[in-house]
Amino acid sequence: MSIDGLSDDNDTPHYDGPAGGWGSVGSMARIMGEERPTPAVLDTLRRQNKPGGFMCVSCAWAKPAKPHTFEFCENGAKATIWELTSRRCTPDFFTEHTVTELKGWKDYDLEQQGRLTHPMRYDRASDRYVPCGWDEAFAAIGAELRAIDPEQAVFYSSGRASLETSYLYALFARLYGHNNLPDSSNMCHETTSVGLKKVIGSPVGTCVLDDFDSCNAIFFFGQNTGSNSPRLLHPLQEAVKRGAKIVTFNPVREKGLESFRNPQSPLEMLTGKETQISTLYFQLKAGGDIAAITGLIKHVLAAEEERQREGKHVLDPDFIAQHTVGFEEMKARVNAIGWEQIEEESGLTRADLKQAADIYVEADRSIAMYGMGLTQQVHGSETLAALVNLWLLKGNIGRDGAGISPVRGHSNVQGQRTVGISEKPELVPLDRLAGQFGFEPPRKEGMNTVKACEKILSGEVKAFIGLGGNFVRAIPERERMEAAWTRMRLTVQIATKLNRSHLINGEVAYLLPCLGRSEEDMQESGAQAVTMEDSLSCIHGSLGNNTPASPHLKSEVAIVAGMAKATLPPNPKVTWDAWVADYRRIRALIEETYPDQFHRFNERVFTPGGFYRGNPARERIWKTESGKAHFTPPGRLRAIGFEDAPGRWRLMTMRSNDQFNTTIYGYSDRLRGIEGTRDVLLMNPLDIAAAGLREGQVVALASDAGDDVDRRVGGLTVTPFHLPRGCVGAYYPEMNPLIPLWYHDEASKTPAAKGVPVRIVV
């Protein structure tokens, strides 16, 4: 399909090459030059994502049992090179620069200083970080935590830390006395954890890697594979070669979903042959997915009526009868919705949707994949319910070659939830923990990310510990949050590189440098492996073998244990030192808490392809309120949380190909053809003209959320781009000051970063 104002050969910036190909090789070479990584990086890349090797710190995509010779992608390589940089951010650097001065630096320049080398304490008098000893840091943190009510503390984690670290971190929080365990997942796939759980009883996807070998169709909603999970392009390419059809719904034409040249295939590289990925590509409006899916369902129901006349079925009536509730209500509601409304809200035509529906009708086995385009919407959970409606119609959940497969972000974000990082006490086996460790765990619901922000704003939170990540940069409402942040008593950040969150400090502040996953983690019993869970619920061991960036680093496990020991009273069942000495003991604890999923954990750590921890929904056991899978009558067609108004635009905050979340590797969004800057406002050329703007003009965006708060980001160059009318795009995290804290998915509170109401200010 084409959209108004754009043809395939117009002059908007675009990249002619496929995803992968020589461009990705060039991009890896550039970052190699910039970071000058240690020579061991090549060996590490060779071991990347292989059984017994080291598991990539970039995305959470599956690691196959039979890996490619190089089982890594452009962005995985960049993440490894980033960690193994030869640059060091030493105490001398902090002597030279005050924290106030560093606040004026760009994110890119902060991380360019390289790996943190020493534990540091913030000295308010000189406005500088000064080196301190580990024991001194732990003792001070312990004293501060003991002095406050545990419920006033927040323990955040970014989704990278291992299962071992995460389990201990959550245990520390509960022994201390709270469930305030927000996770990067709260800004990411929490919509999945809450939305999917409600309708199919599973907080995670139902597919395994083999399903990609036998599916006939894959439907993609709001996920940018080429940039964010490039290794997934391999199974997609294989599926296309087998004749499977791929249908994409995305407001942006993402190169990686159009075509792919496999950098690991010499033939494809030399002959310039590329695989077309998407059979059909629909540029719907941002927030138009409920409408589009409802249109698909209407077509499928119509096809069923037709087929019934021949005495056959498109739907799977036995599955619907045996396994679901709510079919008739859903059907009646969908049939009552008119095509005009569906076309208006989705931005797609009835005929467009018919083409897509025909593929779904014909395919015996279909997989639905999705990412932030669905989860970061005010009605994100409802969007997932709509998608599940469509998937239940043909019994496409719980059988081989079919299912629903959210593409997770951080490399262990799914696993952190599995082992107890959750603010929701009902999701954690608290009674078992009580028995294992002889204490009474807190039962009160803790704070998620939005709640933690609200309570930091109101002054109720006194202490914040960040296990990785860049919280202040990743959350909405940045300006008000930064101002409130400094009113906290204690802030502690555990990190590998310097970022913006380390410059906004509480009264007492520590910056604790940790080992990266690719580095050797030597403890009393020898070198330690850690584990993580991928997007398809498989658990993998990872063994780092590089020399640590500094002899003063500690592992995340040791840092969590050090803080916990200094905070908590002695307990004979809680043996922090023994756990640090040998991580197999931590895995034994995980097995004891979660015996069904982690039986024989230590034996299975290095299972090729990981070991599957199981998912009842895959077996058609529905852990929902009714014990069945739920059809949900659509309550609305619009996933964004506002009405249209003159001068109001739908802003999608985007990731470039050259960043990992708040880590900016460089200024080249190669696959979108945007080079040298991130300060752009992407718009449809007809919208540029209609708004009286011109290409290259510098404008600001202001919040148009109707709450009278002045939120603004300036210095953006108007750039024509392939976007539907009324939708504009600009980069995350730069745009985060524009997102109101209250603007989030209704059910899960995931910030709605893909449909933000803004005005353009000239």
Ligand X SMILES: Nc1nc2c(c(=O)[nH]1)N[C@H]1C(S)=C(S)[C@@H](COP(=O)(O)OP(=O)(O)OC[C@H]3O[C@@H](n4cnc5c(=O)[nH]c(N)nc54)[C@H](O)[C@@H]3O)O[C@H]1N2
SS (H, E, C) 202-231: CCCCCCCCCHHHHCCEEEEECCCHHHHCHH
Is 748 in contact with 191 (CB distance < 8 Å)?
A: yes
Of 201, 251, 420, 562, the residue at the interface with ligand X (CB under 6 A) is 251
* Minimum distance from residue 405 beta carbon to ligand X (Å): 12
Q: Which is nearer to ligand X, 193 or 324 (CB)?
A: 193
Subset of 275-294 contacting ligand X (CB under 6 A): 286-287, 289
* Minimum distance from residue 513 beta carbon to ligand X (Å): 9
Q: Give me the numbers of helices (H) and strands (E) for the chain, helices first please.
A: 31, 33
DSSP letters along 439-498, please? S----S----HHHHHHHHHTT---EEEEESS-HHHHSS-HHHHHHHHTTSSEEEEEESB-
Binding marks (x or -) toward ligand X, 178..197, rule CB under 6 A?
------x--xx---------
Of 409, 446, 516, 737, the residue at the interface with Mo ion (CB under 5 A) is 409
* Minimum distance from residue 553 beta carbon to ligand X (Å): 10
Of 227, 262, 412, 418, the residue at the interface with ligand X (CB under 6 A) is 227
Residue 684's binding partner among Mo ion, ligand X, none (Cβ under 5 to 8 angstroms by kind) is: none
Residue 534's binding partner among ligand X, Mo ion, none (Cβ under 5 to 8 angstroms by kind) is: none
Q: Which is nearer to Mo ion, 48 or 223 (CB)?
A: 223
Q: Within 13 Å, how many C-alpha atoms sit on residue 195's CB side?
A: 32
Binding marks (x or -) toward ligand X, 539..578, rule CB under 6 A?
-----------------x----------------------
CA distance 512 to 163: 20
Q: Which two tokens stand for residue 449?
A: 């990310």
In degrees, rounded to 5, the angle at the alpha carbon of residue 316 between the alpha carbons of residues 313 and 318 is 115
The one-letter code for the residue type at 511 is: L
Binding marks (x or -) toward Mo ion, 157..196, rule CB under 5 A?
-------------------------------x--------
Task: Give yes or no for residue 753 binding ligand X (CB under 6 A).
Answer: yes
Task: Give yes or no for residue 722 binding ligand X (CB under 6 A).
Answer: no
Q: Which two tokens stand for residue 577?
A: 């030192």
Task: Give yes or no for residue 733 binding Mo ion (CB under 5 A).
Answer: no
For residue 500, which phi and psi values (nearest 5 degrees)?
-55, -35
* Minimum distance from residue 652 beta carbon to ligand X (Å): 4
Residues 6 or more apart whose CB falls under 8 angstroms from that of 635 comprise: 382
Task: Give yes or no for residue 222 binding ligand X (CB under 6 A).
Answer: yes
Subset of 19-38 contacting ligand X (CB under 6 A): none
Residue 154's binding partner among Mo ion, ligand X, none (Cβ under 5 to 8 angstroms by kind) is: none
Task: Give yes or no for residue 414 binding ligand X (CB under 6 A).
Answer: no
Residue located via tokens 């619901």 = 445
Of 262, 405, 491, 663, the residue at the interface with ligand X (CB under 6 A) is 663
Task: Give yes or no for residue 466 binding Mo ion (CB under 5 A).
Answer: no
CA distance 248 to 14: 19
Stretch that binds ligand X, among 98-106, 295-303, 402-410, 689-697 (CB under 6 A): 402-410
Subset of 359-388 contacting ligand X (CB under 6 A): 371-373, 376
Residues 6 or more apart whose CB falls under 8 angstroms from that of 310 comprise: none
Q: Which two tokens stand for residue 668?
A: 């080249």
Of 262, 275, 499, 567, the residue at the interface with ligand X (CB under 6 A) is 499
Q: Within 13 Å, how many C-alpha atoms sit on residue 301's CB side?
A: 18
Residue 252's binding partner among Mo ion, ligand X, none (Cβ under 5 to 8 angstroms by kind) is: ligand X
Task: Give yes or no for residue 534 binding ligand X (CB under 6 A).
Answer: no
599 CB neighbour count, 10 Å cutoff: 12
Strands (E), 88-151: 88-89, 115-116, 120-123, 128-131
Q: Which is nearer to Mo ion, 187 or 637 (CB)?
A: 187
Is 451 in contact with 741 (CB distance < 8 Å)?
A: no
* Minimum distance from residue 1 beta carbon to ligand X (Å): 14
Burial of 735 (C-beta count, 10 Å sphere; 0-12/13-18/19+): buried
Q: Which is nearer to ligand X, 506 or 516 (CB)?
A: 516
Q: Which is nearer to ligand X, 252 or 334 (CB)?
A: 252
Task: State which residue has the least CB distance to Mo ion.
Answer: 409
Is 58 in contact with 408 (CB distance < 8 Å)?
A: no
Task: Give yes or no for residue 727 binding Mo ion (CB under 5 A).
Answer: no
Is 446 in contact with 423 (CB distance < 8 Å)?
A: yes
For residue 538, which phi and psi values (nearest 5 degrees)?
-105, 140
Q: Which is nearer to Mo ion, 232 or 244 (CB)?
A: 232
Task: Give yes or no for residue 374 binding Mo ion (CB under 5 A).
Answer: no
Task: Give yes or no for residue 46 binding ligand X (CB under 6 A).
Answer: no
CA distance 275 to 286: 27
Kindly state the DSSP code that residue 640 receives in the 8-state scheme.
S
Task: Give yes or no for residue 757 binding ligand X (CB under 6 A).
Answer: no
Q: Which is nearer to ligand X, 177 or 755 (CB)?
A: 755
CA distance 51 to 762: 55
| 749 closest CA partner among 90, 135, 190 | 190
For residue 391, which phi and psi values (nearest 5 degrees)?
-75, -30
Task: Give yes or no for residue 64 binding Mo ion (CB under 5 A).
Answer: no
Task: Give yes or no for residue 655 binding ligand X (CB under 6 A).
Answer: yes
Residue 446's binding partner among Mo ion, ligand X, none (Cβ under 5 to 8 angstroms by kind) is: none
Is 730 in contact with 739 (CB distance < 8 Å)?
A: no
Point out which residues bind Mo ion (CB under 5 A): 188, 409
Point out which residues bind ligand X (CB under 6 A): 58-59, 75, 111, 158, 160, 184, 187-188, 221-224, 227-229, 249-252, 254, 286-287, 289, 371-373, 376, 407, 409-410, 467-471, 474, 494-497, 499, 514, 516-517, 556, 652-653, 655, 659-663, 732-733, 735-736, 739, 753-754
